[in-house]
Amino acid sequence: MGGAVTFAAALPVALGLLVVLRSAQVSIGMLLVCHGASVALIGLQALDVLGGGAGLLLDQLAQGAWVLLFVWSAVMAHLFPDGALPSPRWRWWLGAEVLGVAAFVVGAVGNFETFSEQHPGQAPPLGALPSTVSAILGTVGLVALVCLVVSAGVAVVVRLRMAHEDARTRLLWLVWGAWAVPVSLVVAWANHFLLGDQTWLVIAALGVGTLSVPLTVAVATLRHRLFDIRVVLSRTVTATVMTGAVLVMYASVLEAVRRLGGDSTVGGLLAVAVVAVVIHPAHSWLRQRVERRVHGYRGDPHRALRMLADTTEAAPQETLAASISATIAEAVRVDWARIDTGSGVDDGNHRFPLEHRGEVIGSLVVASPPGGRFGAKDLALLRDLARYAAVVVFADRHHGALRDSRARIVAAREEERRRLRRDLHDGIGPSLAAVVLKLNAAETRTDAQERHAILKEARSEVKEAIDEVRRLVDDLRPPAIDEVGLLAAIRQRALGLSEAVVFEVRGPTAMPDLPAAVETAAFRIAAEAMTNVARHASATRCEVDITITGDEFAITVTDNGRGAASTVRSGMGWESMRERAAELGGSCTLTNGAPGTGLSVHAVLPHRPSPGHLAEAGERA
């Protein structure tokens, strides 16, 4: 017994000194030392190692010392893990509770009746208080003690809601130690009322109840990542609840059989049968709930995927990425997760590529689980979630691109209508109005020569109006494509350019039917590239090659000029070619060749572009 008391007193003191020396939490370390001193005081009184006046003094002081075992732990819970209260408002509340507990200690030390029961006929060394005063102080102190313990639990809950990562892990260590206190008290009471005060069980229960909080607080302060506290805590809670349930169920069945007049053997067998039938499903249900509370849906991947699917279906488009991140964080029970569509920097967190059809479009970044690491099954679940999220992010990105594309289509259409209106109103309209006026004037003239001159002027105005209409039609779609075909239209365009450059246009003899948007885009790209060669390349020869392979239409324009500088390659003409190809879902690249080979423009257009691309290109053409 003496060795157990020495160990129970020395361990908190040693841990407290270690915390003071190896961490910044001096207040936590000093509280651990005070806890060990209180255990020593109670242990010395229980062992009755002192005699005479010193023994009487120790016995009187120890009358209220038992409460200190709860006080130091409760105060530690208020200050843990950073040594400060959750907020300044807690200072007055904690001070009032400590004063109330101090009143209990004073009342207990001054209680003459308790002292006289242990030492009949002897006077207390420190004197005694009136019984009324002692009773009032004891009542107030007990209320303050209950409030102190309750507020300690509230402080831990408040901190758990606000804490992240390391702080949360440390608090879970405290919760694990605090969980053992009521369990040890229940065991001690059961030992007293049912088992006849078995000595070894008393020592074990008191040891666990006395040392659990100091030990876990010290470990949380110095080595909070010693192991995954969440797993330990969840299994401890499950085992404790199930053990208690089995004992209560077994005792209840035995008592029921006894009251009904049955045999104790029959009652034992019946109790065993009931426990055997109920315990497994109850254990599975409880463990599932506890594991879900601690680990989320790591053990149920299908449920995690369903939850992510429900979230993506219900989330607004504007907050889709944030909703996916929050759902994944909840599914695996981590502090945060995010969708990173940038290049990403290795910041020590877990990264899972968001890959869709071979294209990496970002990363799923997940915080490390507090107090541990992901297992192989957890990593597999996160990879599955990342694959699903990749599809959603890819669709969301293209939805945004489609929305922007539609906006550009509407803007381009309205701009084209404005241009047509301006050209018709400012060009053709006045020309036709002038023709009408001249025809009216010619009608009023009696002189044939004068009337002939006016009609000649009107005829000239009509020709100019016809040329303007042709120009507007050509801007909408080159008529040569419909008249002679795409290949011949490109050749006609080449003949109209500079005579200093020899153009050679090659392509399939039998051109397949192409969408109008593809034909227009190909003609515009070829015309722009050949115009650039004639104006800027200082070339003598230019080749235009058209090839059709599968669903791809390719056009390549090469020259033997001087190539293009980087500033020229970012001009309006080059951008126009790139945009025309991109509108159809294709691409256009510009490449400087070796000296003497000039510039190469290579455009690839889908032979069968999507309806959305066709609509966009049709509006632009």
C-alpha 219/C-alpha 232 separation (Å) is: 14
What is the mean predicted confidence (pLDDT) over 207-224?
87
Over residues 317-369, the pLDDT tens digits come to 778 888 888 888 888 877 788 888 766 555 667 888 888 777 788 888 888 77
Q: What percent of the chain stands above pLDDT 70?
A: 84
Over residues 233-246, the pLDDT tens digits come to 877 887 788 777 77
User: At residue 226, what is the residue type?
Assistant: L
Is the pLDDT at 302 greater than 60? The verdict is yes
C-alpha 290/C-alpha 338 separation (Å) is: 26
Strands 502-506 and 541-549: parallel
Among residues 538, 543, 540, 546, the alpha carbon closest in space to that of 568 is found at 538
Residue 448's Cβ-count burial label (10 Å; 0-12, 13-18, 19+) is exposed
C-alpha 568/C-alpha 29 separation (Å) is: 72
Among residues 139, 101, 123, 148, the alpha carbon closest in space to that of 57 is found at 123
Residue with tokens 């440390």: 170
User: Could you tell me how far CA 412 lies from the centroid of its own chain?
Assistant: 39
Give the CA angle between residues 216, 221, 223 to the nearest 5°.
Answer: 85
Q: In what order do the strands lie in the sheet with 337-340?
A: 337-340, 359-366, 350-356
H helix or E strand, kind and range, residue 353: strand 350-356
Is the pLDDT at 501 greater than 80? The verdict is yes
- pLDDT at 243 (0 to 100): 78
User: At residue 70, what is the residue type?
Assistant: F
C-alpha 404/C-alpha 409 separation (Å) is: 9
What is the mean predicted confidence (pLDDT) over 452-469?
83
> What single-letter DSSP state applies at residue 257?
H
Q: What percent of the chain stands above pLDDT 90?
A: 10
The overall average pLDDT reported for the chain is 80
Give the CA angle between residues 96, 99, 101 to the nearest 5°.
Answer: 110
- pLDDT at 238 (0 to 100): 77
Q: In what order do the strands lie in the sheet with 599-606?
A: 502-506, 541-549, 552-559, 599-606, 587-592
C-alpha 201/C-alpha 519 separation (Å) is: 92
Among residues 235, 94, 239, 77, the alpha carbon closest in space to that of 170 is found at 77
Query: Is there a contact between 163 and 171 (Cβ–Cβ < 8 Å)?
Result: yes
Q: The tokens of 209 are what?
A: 């109840």
86 three-class SS: coil
- pLDDT at 595 (0 to 100): 61
- pLDDT at 620 (0 to 100): 47
- pLDDT at 283 (0 to 100): 63
- pLDDT at 311 (0 to 100): 84
- pLDDT at 613 (0 to 100): 47
C-alpha 604/C-alpha 621 separation (Å) is: 17
Q: The tokens of 2 are what?
A: 């003496």
Output the CA–CA distances (angstroms, integers) from residue 478 to 427, 489, 490, 497, 557, in the order listed.
20, 8, 10, 16, 19
Over residues 528-567, the pLDDT tens digits come to 899 888 888 888 899 999 999 888 899 999 998 887 665 4
Q: For residue 513, what pLDDT band results from cuts at 50, 70 and 90?
A: confident
Over residues 414-436, the pLDDT tens digits come to 777 777 777 777 777 888 888 88
| Phi/psi of residue 372, nearest 5 degrees | -175, -155
C-alpha 28/C-alpha 171 separation (Å) is: 13
Q: For residue 621, what pLDDT band results from cuts at 50, 70 and 90?
A: very low
Among residues 457, 463, 461, the alpha carbon closest in space to that of 442 is found at 457
User: Could you tell me how far CA 200 lies from the centroid of its own chain?
Assistant: 50
C-alpha 43/C-alpha 3 separation (Å) is: 10
C-alpha 249/C-alpha 275 separation (Å) is: 7
Asked whether the CA dihedral 123, 129, 132, 136 is positive or negative, the reply is: negative
Taking each helix axis as running N to C, give the angle between helix 320-332 and helix 301-314, from 0 to 180 degrees, rounded to the nearest 10: 160
Report whether the peptide linkage leading into residue 606 is cis, meaning its omega lies within 30 degrees of zero.
no
Q: For residue 596, what pLDDT band results from cuts at 50, 70 and 90?
A: low
What is the mean predicted confidence (pLDDT) over 508-537?
87
Query: Is there a contact between 537 and 598 (Cβ–Cβ < 8 Å)?
Result: yes
User: Lowest-pLDDT range, 70-79, 173-182, 271-280, 459-468?
Assistant: 271-280
Among residues 350, 346, 360, the alpha carbon closest in space to that of 397 is found at 360
Is the pLDDT at 119 greater than 80? The verdict is no
Q: The tokens of 348 are what?
A: 């020590």
